[in-house]
Amino acid sequence: MKVFKLITRNTWRHPLRTTLTVLGLAIAVTAFCVIRTTIDAWYSDSRATSPNILITLNRVSLVFTVPMSSIEKVKRVEGVKAVSYAAWFGGTYIDPKNFFAKFIVDHNTYFDLYPQWVVPPDQMEAFKKERNAVIVGRKLADRFGWKLGDVVRIVGDIYPGNWDYVIRGIYTGAKEGSNELNWFARYDYVDERMREIAPSRAGQLGWLIIQIDDPSKAAVMSKEIDNLFVNSSAETKTQTEEAFALSFVEMSGTIISGLRIVSILVIGVILLVLANTMAMTARERIREYAVLKTLGFLPRHLIGLIVGESIMIAGAGGVVGLLLTAFAVIPLLETALSDFLPVVRLTPLTLILGVGSALVVGFLAAVFPTAQAVRTSIVDGLRMLD
């Protein structure tokens, strides 16, 4: 007979209690993993950024624009390899519920700076030939059942009017898990109409995308670029692409902080659930521990039995929770959030943290009952329930 066998049998001495505790832990671990996965999904765009790309936008906010004339000035800065530009288009496709990110971009240069979005050459050629052409991500096309040649009407808000676009390209991500939910239309198509209906808005860009030759010079170059526009009507703020992406995430900072706090509270809840079970268990067995001590078992043997049992329950809860997360909850979450968060993926780190938290909780939950069992004298233990 081995100690492990005794731990296993003790664990299942009260099958209902153990099953309920394991399920409680499993649900908590699932909640923890789902929250972390959701937070990870929020940050997925910022992780896909390139270190040699800078973004220049109006210092006031993204709502304000940068003039087209700034491109030539930026190009002259030493270390700048290429400059492109884009703007947020907004607008509605049929119903506001059908939200997705719509950008207008420079059709000649934009995709050169984003090699992670792969467009077949013939489709790229078609995009460049036709002013109202649009390239959409594979997942976005799948979401609405679009195919090449389809005409899609967007009702504009930032850029008023009806905008009829023809889908000429469908991009895929170069890496697994890339964002395939974007819409890229041509800037010149919109700008042309702006010249007719609102000339003051023509030639105004959302932001510049600047490729630099050396990422280590990003800070110096950002300052140099911003200095070009000091005291102009559109002072700029230049930052790395990652910082730019994170600024969007930070808009939801309070929600993310809230989620992080909830994930920690979930760990606290599972600690209490297991600590309660282990306290009941150890109290019921005080007499048995006294008998074992009478037979010559040492405190370290009791520690092994109690901590082992606690960790076994916690480990079982962790494993069941992970299986539940990986095979049931995450696929559901992926479906539910795929329209808003491009990458919903259970990472190895989340798996490790989920099981790790459960095991740490298993250890902590055993501390008090173990101390109680070790401290209780044999005589007092034998007297218990006598």
Partner 1 sequence: MAEILVHVEGVSKSYWRDSIEIPVLRNITLEIPKGEFLALMGPSGSGKTTLLNLLAGIDRSSQGRVRVGEADLSTLSEGGLASWRSAHIGFIFQFYNLIPVLNAFENVELPLLLLKMSKAERRKQVETALTIVGLADRMKHYPNQLSGGQEQRVAIARALVTDPDLLLADEPTGDLDKQSAEDIMGLVTRLNREFGKTIVMVTHDPRAAEKAHKIMRLDKGELAAT
* Residue 19 makes contact with partner 1 by CB under 8 A: no
Q: Is 384 exposed, middle or buried (0-12, 13-18, 19+ CB in 10 A)?
A: middle
Helix (H) or strand (E) holding 165: strand 161-173
Choose between 4 and 340: whose C-beta lies nearer to partner 1: 4
In the set 6, 77, 118, 371, which binds partner 1 (CB under 8 A)? 6
In the set 23, 280, 291, 319, which binds partner 1 (CB under 8 A)? 291
Closest approach of partner 1 to the CB of residue 2, in Å: 9
Choose between 148 and 371: whose C-beta lies nearer to partner 1: 371
Measured between alpha carbons, how far is residue 278 from residues 107, 182, 253, 373 in Å?
64, 51, 38, 11
Stretch touching partner 1 by CB under 8 A, among 5-13, 26-34, 346-354, 355-363: 5-13
Choose between 77 and 382: whose C-beta lies nearer to partner 1: 382
Q: Which of 142, 144, 112 is nearest to 127 (CA)?
A: 112
For 53-99, the DSSP string reads EEEEEESS-TTS-EETTHHHHHHTSTTEEEEEEEEE---BSSSTTS-
* Residue 144 makes contact with partner 1 by CB under 8 A: no
Residues of this chain, 182-241, that bind partner 1 according to CB under 8 A:
none
Residues of this chain, 271-290, that bind partner 1 according to CB under 8 A:
287-288
In the set 43, 100, 297, 368, which binds partner 1 (CB under 8 A)? 297
Strands 102-105, 80-88: pairing is antiparallel
In the set 295, 327, 348, 375, which binds partner 1 (CB under 8 A)? 295
Measured between alpha carbons, how far is residue 381 from residues 140, 276, 284, 309, 378 in Å?
67, 20, 11, 20, 5
Residues of this chain, 298-317, that bind partner 1 according to CB under 8 A:
298
Closest approach of partner 1 to the CB of residue 292, in Å: 8
Rounded to 5 degrees, φ, ψ at 180 are -115, 35
Choose between 8 and 257: whose C-beta lies nearer to partner 1: 8
Q: With CB under 8 A as the rule, give the number of residues binding partner 1.
A: 21
Choose between 80 and 291: whose C-beta lies nearer to partner 1: 291
Closest approach of partner 1 to the CB of residue 179, in Å: 54
Residue 348 in tokens = 């190895």
Stretch touching partner 1 by CB under 8 A, among 9-17, 90-98, 141-149, 154-162: 9-17
* Residue 377 makes contact with partner 1 by CB under 8 A: yes
Choose between 15 and 115: whose C-beta lies nearer to partner 1: 15
Q: Which residues of 325-336 are buried (b: 16+ CB within 10 A; e: fewer)?
A: bbeebbeebbee
Q: Which of 77, 61, 84, 75 is nearest to 235 (CA)?
A: 61
Residue 46 in tokens = 């910022």
In the set 294, 335, 336, 345, which binds partner 1 (CB under 8 A)? 294
Q: CA–CA separation, 142 vs 327, rounded Å?
A: 23
In the set 162, 296, 327, 348, which binds partner 1 (CB under 8 A)? 296
Looking at the DSSP bridge assignments, the partners of residue 163 are: 154
What's the one-letter identity of residue 385? L
Binding residues (CB under 8 A) for partner 1: these are 1, 3, 6, 9-10, 13, 287-288, 291-298, 377-379, 382, 386
